[in-house]
Chains A and B, each alone.
Chain A
Amino acid sequence: MAPEPETMPISVDFLGGLETLFSNNPRHTISLPLLNPSDSSPANVGFLISHLVKNHLKHPRTEFFVQDDGHLTPGILVLINDADWELEGEEECELKAGDKVVFVSTMHGG
């Protein structure tokens, strides 16, 4: 049997309605493998997103979180340790134990 992959805790928050896709829970603590098993590269935000989709996204309307190509749906803000992910390299941003990632869906109604 293969050994369990080593993991790190990542805090993930869902806001702006996204929590309804994730068991109506606004805060999850994820055990994220240190390495992306597909290419053994260090876990980054792109890997976190696919990990969330595979293991935590229980809702059928997945298009509200990811597109068919696996990338995050436009209109969702991502904050990594309180900073806009555009400044951190977006999906390429590597994660370390204890990092806080926030996904916020932009609303338009009124």
Chain B
Amino acid sequence: MQHNSTEEQRSNGVATLANGERTGSGRRLTDEEFDRYSRQMIVPGMGKEAQLRLINSKVLIIGAGGLGCPAAQYIAGAGIGTIGIIDGDVVEPSNLHRQVGHATSRIGMKKADSLISHLRDLNPLPTYVPYTFPISPDNAADIISQYDLVLDCTDNPATRYLISDVCVLLYKPLVSAASVQKSGQLIVLNCPPTPQGRVDKKYPPCYRCCFRTPPPANTQLSCGEAGIMGPVVGLMGVAQAGEAIKILASGLHLPSSTSNDTGDDPHNLIQPALLIHSYDLNAAPGPYTFRALKMASRKKNCIACGENSPQTLTLEGIKSSNPNYLQFCGLQTPKTILPVQDRITASAYHATRQSGQLQNHILLDTREKEHFSFGSIDGAVNVPFGKLLMKAATIKRDGGNAEEILPIKSAEDPIFVVCRRGLDSQEAVEKLKELGVDHGGKRKIVDIIGGMKAWKEEVDPSFPFI
């Protein structure tokens, strides 16, 4: 069928085909569809049947950010019939270098609405469904159940585990990508969808099979903190669209249990792979720019899809906080490590300075030098947190004068430590005390609560917080 279509298109052109040929799916493509999708339909392996499958498909894109924007553009362009976009955030100026489905004129608009307005302009034919709230254990199953395939374009591990679990339970293939700073990753999961608990043969893995435990909260890097290069996350989002189109065009999203329950299902032969993209600001593309790592198939002991998973993961359980995703990812309680007497609010620090009660003191800013270079509080000195830890480790190991950690020599002046949001600064205060820089408690070392973010909110709204 595909072969015939291609031949006919070559000889007669696309329009003839539109008027002439009926498809097995019982519907013709409209002239508009033929015009719009002709260039992808004539690609060997695609054809009209594949295009009709795309038109009849429903794709849910979770997250309308750096991954979701480029993914959605190609999903919409390709003519997927129904496209759901879910995101609770609004468009901010700092999004726009990478979230190219939004616009300067739509800053402040809900991201789901903003992206859909862009997509409608690109292709008015699909049905677009905005969800202007975040996905949660309460709503995930209701929403995901209405789609054929899910793109995970989110930005945090708790949501990633939730989405994967629900996709396993509802038999939905999941195309998952992530990116931070100069690296990106992509993996196709649960495809073809296979019922929970089946481990008699090789079956596709879910997110938990590949990433059994989340990293500790203090090592989870977000794009807001660590930064992100637009083209890196963009490539991953585009690749997600590519995988989704491939799956839907070939019908791979249909559960393997119904398509072929007994025989050798060729779908099972798919080798799961994790694509890693490493971008180097200082080098030309090299042998490690793209790597495909072979991943294992479904794990017997996986709590979401493995042997005993029907007892450990259910849709009802998810709705009643079992599993508890935030706790699992160590995000339940924001860490406060210092007692109150070692802390001061940004506004109280400012007021004390203004009143003249605080003459000589050291204000230590532990943000990265890139952050510091955009602005700092008057008189602040920069010792990036990493450097401080390194110096502390050296002094601990080799001995030496702990005061040398500080760029200003002064044995008595109190020290105030500020960072970006108030976590590193607390650890820095602890480290300095551990090294005896506080002279056994005689010298005050204080953390400014909430960091430069609080400074902007409480003291100086014009501060360029990044």
Q: B-contacting residues of A (Cβ < 8 Å)?
A: 13, 15-17, 19, 24, 26-27, 59-61, 63-64, 67, 73-77, 79, 82-84, 86-87, 102, 104-110
Contacts and interface: CB of A to CB of B under 8 A. Distances in A.
B389 A61 contact: yes
Contacts of B179: 107, 109-110
9 contacts: A26-B278, A75-B214, A76-B215, A77-B210, A84-B296, A87-B296, A106-B214, A107-B184, A110-B223
A106 B215 contact: yes
Given A17-B182, A82-B294, A110 B389 contact: no
In this complex, the interface size class of chain B, counting residues with CB under 8 Å from chain A, is: 35 or more
A60 B387 contact: yes
A108 B157 contact: yes
- What 6 pairs across the A-B complex have the smallest Cβ distances? A75-B215, A60-B390, A109-B180, A107-B178, A74-B213, A60-B389
Contacts of A67: 216
Interface of B: 63, 65-68, 153-157, 160, 177-185, 210-216, 218-223, 226, 228, 233, 236, 274, 276, 278, 280, 288, 291, 293-296, 299, 386-387, 389-390, 393
Nearest to A87: B296
A108 B296 contact: no
Nearest to B180: A109
A15 B291 contact: yes
A15 B183 contact: yes
B181 A17 contact: yes
B219 A75 contact: yes
Contacts of B219: 63-64, 73, 75
Contacts of A26: 278, 288
Contact of A107 (B65, B68, B183, B393): B183
Contact of A73 (B215, B222, B228, B294): B215
A86 to B, nearest CB: 7
A13 B293 CA distance: 12
Given A104-B276, A110-B153, 12 more contacts: A17-B181, A61-B386, A74-B215, A77-B293, A82-B293, A82-B294, A102-B293, A106-B211, A108-B156, A110-B66, A110-B154, A110-B178
B221 A110 contact: no
A105 B223 CA distance: 15
A83 B296 contact: yes
A19 to B, nearest CB: 7
Contacts of A110: 63, 65-68, 153-155, 177-179, 223, 233, 236
B180 to A, nearest CB: 4
Nearest to A63: B219
A100 B393 CA distance: 31
A102 B276 CA distance: 12
Contacts of A13: 288, 291
Nearest to A74: B213
Given A60-B386, A109-B226, A16 B185 contact: yes
Contacts of A83: 294, 296
Contacts of A16: 183, 185, 276, 278
A15 B179 CA distance: 12
A26 to B, nearest CB: 4
Contacts of B177: 110
B183 A17 contact: yes
Nearest to A19: B278
Contacts of B211: 75, 77, 106
B293 A79 contact: yes
B185 A107 contact: yes
Contacts of B156: 108
A79 B294 CA distance: 9
Contact of B180 (A15, A59, A63, A107): A107
B178 A108 contact: yes
A84 to B, nearest CB: 4
Contacts of A104: 185, 274, 276, 293
Contacts of A108: 155-157, 160, 178, 180, 220-222
Contacts of A24: 280
A109 B178 contact: yes
A110 B183 CA distance: 11
